[in-house]
A = this chain, B = another copy of it.
Amino acid sequence: MPPSLTAALAEAIVAARPEADTAAMAAARRALVDFLACAFAGSRDRTVATVRTGMGDTPGRSPVIGSARPAEPQLAALLNGYAGHVLDYDDVHASVRGHPTTVIVPALLAALDPEAPPSAEAFLAAYLVGLETMAHLGRAIGPAHYERGFHATATLGPLGAAAAIAHLRGFSAETTAIALGLGATQAAGLRLQFGFDAKPLHAGLAARNGLIAARLAEAGLSGAPESLAGAAGFFEAYGFGEAKPERVLEEWGAPWQILRPGLTLKAFPCCTAAHPVAVAGLAFHRDGWRDVARATITFPPGGDAALVVRAPRTGIEARFSPEYILAAALVDGAVRLDHFDERPVRSELAALAERVERRHDTAAPRLTSDPGTRFVVVELADQQGRTAQRRIDGLPGLDDPDAKFRDAKAGSDALQAVPHLVRTMRTPGDLARLLQLLAQP
């Protein structure tokens, strides 16, 4: 019998050696700095305490980012995943069509023994394996999974997190396959929660569920060895008939998905699908556009599926409103954290957002996980009837997460050492030092 798809993926997870790829490891270090910027800033969000209290606040030894109180591992995974995603400022990957790092890193942090951590290089390599897994699954499951209702961060996350932990802890291929199945059988998260606290909760739940999947497989709980392919498998259950399971292992690690199509570090603290809109708006602002009478934003079909809000009431809802984000860019010449907090939206920006129309270019290819399908066209008209137009292709990202870390105003002076430490860490001692810094409030 040929090996099953899940067995083949498990073999690839076990055998992967991303630490040999200098560029991939450097990208992993940048991703970790960027994630920590988001998580430290997010740890100060009012709702983090709501989650911690609501979940029962069980103490333990696992680090909770930005908190002096470590927690039981499952709670720590959940809180760190939540904090990393609550500002919607964390990285995004086109193959995943979601946010891999805020699931994988919290799961890995909770899976290690804080008093006997693995080497920092092994930690980063495990992260890359988790990302590779999540990205390959995302590419294979097809666009309908997301468009018809699922939040891919949440559904693919438990599998990616389980893969990362399996690699870190040196599971056999058999145990890894069972861990993947225990992740697949916890895949959940509906996109209708976008704009609510439940959205970042998805990231935390995915991290925790991936941790549980790995832990129970390691403890010896039995599960289906094949969970992905076949009738009633993960891809059939969640793919709406568009999944291509045979793609899962295509180009595995060649190159690593963190390099191509690449992980996008977010330049703006709002939903990724609106980032090209922000770039266009900022460029118009730089060009001196001020009195905008009306505007049109054109997307490819499906390009605004995540942008579920047209008239936001609060900054939280505004993260998902391209109309409001365009208004912010045009008026303020900036798209900042303070546009997207819990306060009511600014009336001046809301009034301009009302004059923005959304359209779809039905002649363009539907948005897929291929970043080449992503574009927006923004057209402005002023009071005198003058118009201008900009087209932004692909997804603009951030090169330097160190500045973002500084801007996140992360805690104490000691934290200023984090970006350098992450860029250079190699040994278990280095990782232990990072774990100590994470617990700085």
Interface residues on A, range: 35 or more
The answer to whether A237 touches B58, judged by C-beta atoms less than 8 angstroms apart, is no
The answer to whether B47 touches A221, judged by C-beta atoms less than 8 angstroms apart, is yes
Q: Is A364 an interface residue (CB 8 A)?
A: no
Kindly list 20 other residue pairs between chains A and B, CB separation below 8 angstroms, not including A54-B216, A191-B232.
A51-B219, A55-B74, A56-B72, A147-B232, A148-B237, A149-B232, A149-B236, A151-B185, A181-B193, A185-B188, A185-B201, A186-B188, A186-B189, A188-B188, A190-B234, A193-B224, A197-B221, A198-B221, A201-B216, A201-B221
Q: Is A226 an interface residue (CB 8 A)?
A: yes
Q: Which residue of B lies closest to A205 (CB)?
A: B186
10 contacts between A and B (CB under 8 A): A50-B221, A51-B219, A55-B212, A56-B73, A151-B185, A185-B188, A186-B188, A192-B224, A195-B224, A198-B221
**Nearest-Cβ distance from residue A176 to partner chain B, whole angstroms:** 15
**Nearest-Cβ distance from residue A257 to partner chain B, whole angstroms:** 25
B residues within 8 A CB of A205? 186
Q: Which residue of B lies closest to A216 (CB)?
A: B54
**Nearest-Cβ distance from residue A420 to partner chain B, whole angstroms:** 34
Q: Is A333 an interface residue (CB 8 A)?
A: no
Q: Is A360 an interface residue (CB 8 A)?
A: no
Bound-state CA distance A58–B73 (Å) is: 10
Residues A208-240 near B (CB distance < 8 A): 212, 215-216, 218-224, 226-227, 230, 232-234, 236-237
**Interface set of A (CB-CB < 8 Å, partner B):** 47, 50-51, 53-56, 58, 60, 72-74, 147-151, 154, 181-182, 184-193, 195-198, 201-202, 205, 212, 215-216, 218-224, 226-227, 230, 232-234, 236-237
Q: Which residue of B lies closest to A189 (CB)?
A: B185
Bound-state CA distance A218–B216 (Å) is: 29
Tell me which of B151, B196, B220, B224 contacts A50 (CB under 8 A): B220
Instruction: Please indicate which of the listed interface residues A50, A58, A221, A223 has the most CB atoms of chain B within 10 Å of its own CB.
Output: A221
With contacts A54-B219, A221-B51 taken as known, whether A185 is within 8 angstroms of B202 at the C-beta atoms is yes
The answer to whether B58 touches A72, judged by C-beta atoms less than 8 angstroms apart, is yes
With contacts A196-B223, A198-B222, A201-B216 taken as known, whether A232 is within 8 angstroms of B190 at the C-beta atoms is yes
The answer to whether B73 touches A192, judged by C-beta atoms less than 8 angstroms apart, is no
The answer to whether B58 touches A232, judged by C-beta atoms less than 8 angstroms apart, is no
The answer to whether B50 touches A237, judged by C-beta atoms less than 8 angstroms apart, is no
**Nearest-Cβ distance from residue A341 to partner chain B, whole angstroms:** 14
With contacts A221-B47, A233-B149 taken as known, whether A227 is within 8 angstroms of B192 at the C-beta atoms is yes
With contacts A185-B188, A188-B186 taken as known, whether A222 is within 8 angstroms of B197 at the C-beta atoms is yes
B residues within 8 A CB of A151? 185
Bound-state CA distance A55–B53 (Å) is: 20
Bound-state CA distance A236–B190 (Å) is: 11
**Nearest-Cβ distance from residue A49 to partner chain B, whole angstroms:** 9
The answer to whether A50 touches B193, judged by C-beta atoms less than 8 angstroms apart, is no
